[in-house]
Amino acid sequence: MNVIVCLKQVPGTTDVKVNPQTNTLIRQGVENVINPFDTYALEEGVRTKERYGEGKVTAMSMGPLQAEAVMREAISLGADEAVLLSDKAFAGADTWATAYTLAQAINKIGQHDIIICGRQTIDGDTGQVGPELAEILEIPFVAYVSQIEEIADGRIRVQRMVEEGHEVIESSLPAVITVVKEINVPRLPSLRGITRSKSAPVAIWSAREIGVDESRVGLAGSFTKVIKVFFPQRVSQSEVFQGEMESQVDCLIDRLKDTGLT
């Protein structure tokens, strides 16, 4: 059972600032973590391998070089290998360009049975990369998986969460699934895992190494562009009434009437 788990490095806080010039996140001074939803994907990948014995779990991410830290964390949490796709050409990619880049790298790896992603990231929140990946690879896709029931004879049977309850879906392999947090409780790293992760190699692949069409990656390959990111302005005004208490109350009532509240 060869599993590929796609991870994203995200800021480990909800208090992020946006650079008004470039409309991108200011990542300096913010601790980066594995996207929380992806930790469930990684755990499920490792459990699947443990359950069916042979094979390996490869953690994959596209991101800047500092994402190597979360790739090492993935190794400490049970991934056998880690591949980081990093190249200036990948910068500014939207979900489609990201999915294309990941798909090229997955094709380079070759043999794989399941590709697992988290349901969405906590920074972009689109939930699009998983399904787009399946589309580009031309393989089946199941979203919101809450349980892998069985994998046998080149097929997988899963439960997926839908609003009214659960659906049981069977698919041929290879396939892409995205998982919800109900699927497992991710393990904590082990001391040996941490030691191993410090010295384990993290493969860093550039655009050339995965043979991408440069017009389809990064900002150039993106169909969508972020024009502006902004925080809604909070406007608050205050007014102080002065004078006798009675006239203050009258002023207040008049003002409230003006606003249409009374």
Partner 1 sequence: MEYFLTEEQKTIKDLARKIAEERVLPVRAELDETEDFPRAIMKYLADADMFRVFIPEEYEGLGGGCLELCLVVEELSRVCAAISTCYAVNALGCYTLIEFGTEEQKRKYLPDIAAGRRLTAFALTEPTAGSDAGAIKTTAEKVNGGYMLNGTKQFITNGGEAEIYTVIALTDKTRGARGASAIIVEKDTEGFSFGKTEKKMGIRASATRELIFRNCFVPEENLIGREGAGFLMAMKLFDRSRPGIGAQALGIAQGALETAVDYTRQRIQFGQPLISLPVVQDILGDMATHIEASRALIYAAARTVDSGAKNLTEVSAMSKVFASDVAMKVTTDAVQICGGPGYMRDYPLEKMMRDAKITQIYEGSNQILRNAIAIETRKRKGRT
The structure tokens 């409780």 sit at 185
Cα distance between residue 71 and residue 1, in whole Å: 21
Q: Smaller CB distance to partner 1: residue 63 or 186?
A: 186
Ranges assigned E (strand) in the chain: 3-6, 9-11, 18-19, 24-25, 32-34, 57-62, 81-85, 114-118, 141-152, 155-162, 165-172, 175-179, 202-205
CA torsion 137-138-140-144 (nearest 10°) is: 50
Please tell me whether residue 36 binds partner 1 under the rule CB under 8 A.
no
Q: Which range binds partner 1 by CB under 8 A, 85-93, 137-145, 193-201, 220-228?
A: 193-201
Q: Smaller CB distance to partner 1: residue 140 or 189?
A: 189
Smallest gap, in angstroms, from Cβ of residue 187 to partner 1? 6
Cα distance between residue 4 and residue 139, in whole Å: 14
Please tell me whether residue 192 binds partner 1 under the rule CB under 8 A.
yes
Q: Smaller CB distance to partner 1: residue 195 or 248?
A: 195
Interface pick for partner 1 out of 19, 22, 172, 190 (rule CB under 8 A): 190
Interface pick for partner 1 out of 173, 187, 216, 220 (rule CB under 8 A): 187
Q: Which range binds partner 1 by CB under 8 A, 121-129, 185-193, 200-208, 244-252?
A: 185-193
Q: Smaller CB distance to partner 1: residue 11 or 193?
A: 193
Q: Which range binds partner 1 by CB under 8 A, 36-44, 139-147, 189-197, 254-262?
A: 189-197
Please tell me whether residue 194 binds partner 1 under the rule CB under 8 A.
yes
Count residues near partner 1 (CB under 8 A): 9
Q: Smaller CB distance to partner 1: residue 190 or 247?
A: 190
The Cβ-side half-sphere exposure at 42, using a 13 Å CA radius, reads 30
Q: Smaller CB distance to partner 1: residue 73 or 132?
A: 73
Q: Smaller CB distance to partner 1: residue 11 or 186?
A: 186
* Contact set for partner 1, span 195-234 (CB under 8 A): 195
The structure tokens 């809604």 sit at 232
CA torsion 30-34-35-41 (nearest 10°) is: 180
Interface pick for partner 1 out of 15, 125, 191, 238 (rule CB under 8 A): 191
Residues that bind partner 1 (CB under 8 A): 187-195
